Amino acid sequence: MIVLIGTFFGGLGLFLLAVSMITDGLRLAAGDALRDLLARSTATRPRGILAGVGLTAVVQSSSAVTVATIGFVNAGLLTLPASFGVLYGANVGTTITGWIVAAVGFSFNIEVFALPLIGFGMLARILRPNSRLAAVGEALAGFGLFFIGVDVLQDAFKNFSASIDVASFAPQGGLGVVAYVIVGFVMTLVTQSSSAAIAITLTAATGGVLGLNAAAAMVIGANVGTTSTAALAVLGATPNARRLAAAHVLFNLLTGAVALALLPLMLWTVRTMGTALGLADEPAISLALFHTVFNILGVLLMLPLTNRLAAFLSRKFGSESERLSKPIYLDHNALANPDLAVEALRLELTRATGICREMIVATVSDESPEHRVTSARRMALRKLIEEIQNFVDLLELERLPEGFRGNLPLVLRIAGYLEEVVGLADDIDLHRGDISALISSRTEVAELILGYQAAVLAQVERCDPELESVADAELEAGYDRLRTQWHTLKDALMQSAADRRVPIRRLNSASEGLRCCLKIAEQLKKAALRQNALQALSE
């Protein structure tokens, strides 16, 4: 029994090492080709499915392709609907592992086939280290180890079935089938590789340890278990990436549930198809065909539901940043009515300005890291500004009365000022550490910086478009006072550097960040002046 257990874990270890070498080697050899291929192959859903099948067949890991797709969605390189096709194809492509095991693992002399692959692969890695040839060599060696691992597992299961009457303690009936589904799920969860779980299942069935029904149930469980990798990959990811992972889970759950409910019918279908295709009546081939059929069935079931699924998931996993980026006043139905359209633009600009002012208060006031504005929130504000600009473009296509055309340049200028403010906030973050260091010095300069920041925030407060009492003259006067205060602070900073109380490097960085605060106040003042003008025109 100890030898059997050792042989089993040794074969499993070889198999997991092989899968890792194949995946890593081919991914390094491909370089950016994976990303480029995904980008080119997702124009239509059928092309996305074919790309998913092909990439998974080559890389030998549906998890790697799924995680890569999630990464591209997370980075904004792929849209959510475009990624669904790749996801479906990856699930079909992972069935290639079963066919490799069935066709090669039990029909050839493993050593004659596998050992040369390992030898040539490692020779390529030794001769050209840190090159694409080395990566290809690693993948070749991985394929060799793959087949040796299968051979070791096959021997372990044959000896196990010869030593123990498995049928005497194997669960039977419906509960037994469910138990095998759970076993397949757990195996994938533990190994983080559905390919490993399916290879174990096929070798166990070929070795007589599992019946066809039990092995098919384990294949279903392994297929569902592959969702665990995607679920782990989206921790802390964007809402779209979480939606894609949810689609992956739903696809596998639906496919598994249908396959389990139709298990006797599907096994009969598989046997009939195998006979018609002239395939050998062996458990491994029957299971590989079963795995392929139920994944293709899952794709056929999901394709008509994809648009509804995308619409459903788009309402889930929403973040605050995503909520901020969506206009709440810009309705395309208002484009036909200039009065409504211009008023919607004014209201959306007021909302965007309010969000921008809140962001600046948090940025300038040097709040603690947990309360600072995140890059996602700034990106959301940029997206909202872009939506406003796009709405203006659509409105310009309409036949507007002459009196309304003067509003649109004002709207675009205000949006441009807000966009520049967001960029300046990013710049302040680059210099935040040096500004904080000067404030922590508790010198006269520190007091001047704090006073200057308070003055900036006061000017930001005056630039609130919802404050009807703030006149243009007051906005200009407030900015003039702030500019004078900035010049006083700049002189004090230069004097501190001359007196060697502040390092020049830190002084230059802090000065640049504080100058950005003045620039922000200027852009917000311009935006407020234009919003006052827009309000006057609207009235």
Is 130 strand, coil or helix?
A: coil
Q: Give the domain range for residue 295.
A: 2-314
Last residue of a domain, one of 289, 314, 339: 314
- Do 363 and 472 fall within a single domain? yes
The CATH number covering residue 467 comes to: 1.20.58
Share of the chain above pLDDT 70, in %: 75
* Residue appearing with tokens 């919802």: 466
Q: Which amino acid is at 149?
A: G
**Among 153-162, 181-190, 427-436, which stretch is predicted with the lowest mean pLDDT?**
153-162
Instruction: Say if CB 350 and CB 531 are below 8 A apart.
Output: yes
- Do 286 and 220 fall within a single domain? yes
Last residue of a domain, one of 314, 337, 369: 314
Last residue of a domain, one of 314, 340, 369: 314
- pLDDT 10s digits, 222-271: 888 877 766 765 665 567 777 878 888 888 888 888 888 888 888 888 88
- Do 172 and 216 fall within a single domain? yes
Q: Tell me the pLDDT of the chain averaged across its residues.
A: 77
What pLDDT is recorded for position 519? Answer: 93
Query: If 0-12 CB within 10 Å is exposed, 13-18 middle and 19+ buried, where does residue 336 land?
Result: exposed
What pLDDT is recorded for position 401? Answer: 62
How far apart (Å, rounded) are the C-alpha atoms in residues 103 and 108? 8
DSSP-assigned letter for residue 330: -
- Do 154 and 120 fall within a single domain? yes
Residues, the chain: 539
- Do 335 and 295 fall within a single domain? no
Contacts 24+ apart (CB under 8 A), 256-260: 256/181, 256/220, 256/221, 256/223, 256/224, 258/294, 258/297, 258/298, 258/301, 259/220, 259/294, 259/297, 259/298, 260/177, 260/181, 260/217, 260/220
Angle of CA points 143, 145, 146, to nearest 5°: 60
- Report the C-alpha dihedral over residues 98, 104, 109, 110, rounded to 10 degrees: -50
Question: What pTM, to 2 d.p., does this model score?
Answer: 0.55
Instruction: Say if CB 48 and CB 86 are below 8 A apart.
Output: yes
- Do 529 and 400 fall within a single domain? yes
- Do 304 and 410 fall within a single domain? no
- Do 155 and 287 fall within a single domain? yes
User: Distance between alpha carbon 377 and the CA centroid of its chain, in Å?
Assistant: 17
- Domain count along the chain: 2
- Do 307 and 431 fall within a single domain? no
- Do 288 and 386 fall within a single domain? no
- Do 446 and 385 fall within a single domain? yes
- Do 91 and 162 fall within a single domain? yes
- pLDDT 10s digits, 64-76: 677 667 666 765 5
Q: What is the DSSP string of 248-262?
A: HHHHHHHHHHHHHHT
